[in-house]
Amino acid sequence: MLLFAMGFLLLILQPSTGQFPRVCANTQSLLSKECCPPWDGDGSPCGQLSSRGSCQNILLSQAPLGPQFPFSGVDDREDWPSVFYNRTCRCEGNFMGFNCGECKFGFSGVNCTERQLRTRRNIFQLTINEKNKFLAYLNLAKNIPSQDYVIATGTYTQMNNGSNPMFRDINVYDLFVWMHYYASRDTLLGGSNVWRDIDFAHEAPGFLPWHRAFLLMWERQIQKITGDENFTIPYWDWRDAEDCGVCTDEYMGGRHPTNPNLLSLASIFSSWQVICTRSEEYNSQQALCNATSEGPIRRNPGNHDKSRTPRLPSSADVEFCLSLTQYESGPMDKMANYSFRNTLEELLACKEPCKGITMQYRSRSEDKKRTMKMIRGMSKAFMESA
């Protein structure tokens, strides 16, 4: 799928709002358009009796749509979540979550008043025990159903405007794969028509906040299923890397000895199945990805087309990106010139000289299309395995 974005229409995603809270994935909630579940602590909607929050009409941005998306009222993600719900919990103070039952990121304690500092660490600086714990956590997430969230397997129209709910269970890891897919999928226009130039998570100012919230939510879910309140996602510092240092069986999986596109059987990730990889199939069926397994993780580090992506970004590329003082510029999309956001987003896509993203536009959009496909493949591969 081609990742174009809309300039102004951003997915206004409350960080705590996964898709979808299980307790609201039913006919009653959909027809009333209200998702204000009780908080376990006192049984009241949104924990209202404990002043944690209250059920309120949602607030939508009044900002005009960008010219990139010439429709309105055709995509469930417009003015999210208003197509599904128009009343949700609005939480007070440091409370957060679809029922105000959680603390805002960075806070803990029964009243969410304790500041909590967690640090993300370089994966190569973890001890062997810490690293193995991380892999075990990932594998647990991949095998444990999400209690709090389900995924939609049909559009609102396909659900007969709510009277025929279409949802299903998903494991904690794939919940995030699916959410990423759902935010960036094409618009289904009916018949065999789709609109590809849309994305609610990429190529627009929301790119960074969306992914920041995404990773924080992901960490929170891992913390919950493991009981390890201090868990953070380790990072791989790929600056100037000659090859894929995490692509070994000790980390994210090495190469299969006879099939270079597969992972080594010594890696736990060789038994994982991917989901949501077949966008053309969903488009032709006018269907959503329903999280059916679609085969093993395919990865082939080092054997990519070097004429398209000669190398991983260098320290100089990163420095250049950090030197940009404007967060966003111009059309605020993939064409934004000297935009920190656009430069960062395309860091992995650029050709020599790698600081080109903001200056040199590829003349042919086909070229761009292929490049974006590839990046998407790369980030998906990383999501699937890391």
Q: Can you give the binding site for ligand NAG, defined by CB under 6 A?
A: 33, 57, 86, 110-111, 160-161, 228-230, 281-282, 285, 287, 290, 292, 337-338, 359, 361
Measured CA to CA, the distance from residue 331 to residue 8 in angstroms comes to 9
**CA 381, 154, 296 angle in degrees (round to 5)?**
25
Taking the least distance from each CB to ligand NAG, the nearer of 167 and 282 is: 282
- 62 vs 230, which CB is nearer to ligand NAG? 230
Q: How far is the CB of 306 from ligand NAG (least distance, A)?
A: 26
In angstroms, give the least distance from the CB of 79 to ligand NAG: 11
**Residue nearer to ligand NAG on the CB measure, 288 or 372:** 288
Q: ω into residue 95 within 30 of 0, thus cis?
A: no
Query: In whole angstroms, how close is the CB of 284 to ligand NAG at the nearest point?
Result: 9
Least distance (Å) between residue 228 CB and ligand NAG: 6
Specify the residue, 99 or 267, whose C-beta has the smaller distance to ligand NAG: 99
d(CA 290, CA 178): 9
Nearer to ligand NAG, 266 or 322 (CB): 322
Shortest Cβ distance from residue 316 to ligand NAG (Å)? 19
- As measured in angstroms, the least distance from the Cβ of 244 to ligand NAG is 30
Nearer of residues 305 and 352 to ligand NAG, judged by Cβ: 352
Output 57 or 323, the one with its CB closest to ligand NAG.
57
Bridge partners, 167 (sequence order): 152
Enter the tokens of residue 12: 């206004």
Residue 101 or 254: the one with the smaller Cβ distance to ligand NAG is: 101
The tokens describing 141, both together, are 């997430």
List all residues 6 or more positions away from 216 whose beta carbon is below 8 Å from its beta carbon: 15, 105
SS in 3 state form for the chain? CCCCCCCCCCCCCCCCCCCCEHHHCCHHHHHHCEECCECCCCCCECCHHHCCEEEEECCCCCCCCCCCCCCCCCCCCCCCCCCCCCEEEEECCCEECCCCCEECCCEECCCCCEECCCCCCEHHHCCHHHHHHHHHHHHHHHHCECCCECEECCCCCCCHHHCCCCEECCEHHHHHHHHHHHHHCCEEEECCEEECCCCCCCCCCCHHHHHHHHHHHHHHHHHHHHCCCCCCCCECCCCCCCCCCCCCCCCCCCECCCCCCEECCCCHHHHCECCCCCHHHHHHHCCCCCCCCCCECECCCCCCCCCCCCCCCCHHHHHHHHHCCCCCCCCCCCCCCCCHHHHHHCCCCCCCCHHHHHCCCCCCHHHHHHHHHHHHHHHHHHHHHC
Residue 106 CB, shortest distance to ligand NAG, in Å, is: 14
Q: Least separation, in Å, of the C-beta of 291 and ligand NAG?
A: 8
* Closer CB to ligand NAG, 130 or 281, in the complex: 281
Q: How far is the CB of 270 from ligand NAG (least distance, A)?
A: 23
The residue among 229 and 250 lying less far from ligand NAG, judged by its C-beta, is 229
CB of 110 to ligand NAG, least distance (A): 5
